[in-house]
Amino acid sequence: MDRFEGLTTAHVADACIRARVPVRTVSLTSVTGERVAGRVLPAQHVGSVDVFLEAFESAQAGDVLVVGNGGRRDEACVGDLVALEAQAAGLAGLVVWGLHRDTVDITAIGLPVFSLGALPTGPLRLDPQPADALSRATIGEWTVTRDDVVLGDEDGVVFVPADRLDEIFDLAESIRATEHAQADSIRSGRSLREQVRFAEYLTARAARPDLTFRQHLRAIRGAIEE
């Protein structure tokens, strides 16, 4: 979390592209306005909170409970008691591919909770729990495990392989430094087009129609798209 503090998920997503790591992002909103970072603690919701309580039994401090609930919008699958229990277990936050409820109480608890939105109704079903309910969770089109780290901010959530995290942070910090320098130059009167030698790119593209702007940026060590 300390290293992520100076970055954004956009920086991390761009770094994944640079590192040729699949860009696993989803659009989720933080209930509390807080950022989150930690190792994935997966759980598949099937209608009862017991799967979360079981997950907490093996949780380590700083983990983030990542709940797969199929993106359902007909039920809330986590509420204030789950958030409070997660906080007591030392978790850094919750990421829910589904809905939450008890927004006022969750806000008061202060633990970062990311979800697709809120709904007053809890689950009205109880399905069989799959054998891998505590080893993997599906979030959007992505399946994540304990081998992943989740990072979330105002732009959404990104998942990164834990064994590539340092490399991706290094790249993200380099991208951030370049972008900040570009922003400072714009404020000082040097346009972005001038900085990225856009006229040069247009001339080169006229001669080579297959030349992409991304290739041009890489050639001049720019950083806009990634």
pLDDT tens-digit profile, the chain (226 residues)? 889 999 999 999 999 999 999 999 999 999 988 899 999 999 999 999 999 999 999 999 999 999 999 999 999 999 999 999 999 999 999 999 999 999 999 999 999 999 999 999 999 999 999 999 999 999 999 999 999 999 999 999 999 999 999 999 999 999 999 889 889 999 999 999 998 899 999 999 999 999 999 889 888 865 554 4
Is residue 25 located within the same domain as residue 111? yes
Is residue 101 located within the same domain as residue 211? no
Is there a binding annotation on residue 81? yes
Is residue 19 located within the same domain as residue 79? yes
Is there a binding annotation on residue 96? no
Is there a binding annotation on residue 82? yes
The residue range of the domain holding 195 is 168-220
CATH number at residue 9: 3.50.30.40
Name the domain boundary from 130, 147, 162: 162
In a domain, 94, yes or no: yes
Is residue 133 located within the same domain as residue 185? no
Is residue 135 located within the same domain as residue 189? no
In a domain, 226, yes or no: no
CA–CA gap between residue 153 and residue 35 (Å, rounded): 5
Q: Is 18 helix (H, G, I), strand (E, B) or coil?
A: helix
In a domain, 58, yes or no: yes
Is there a binding annotation on residue 79? yes
Is there a binding annotation on residue 62? no
Name the domain boundary from 132, 162, 192: 162
Is residue 51 located within the same domain as residue 144? yes
pTM of the entire predicted model: 0.89
Is there a binding annotation on residue 153? no
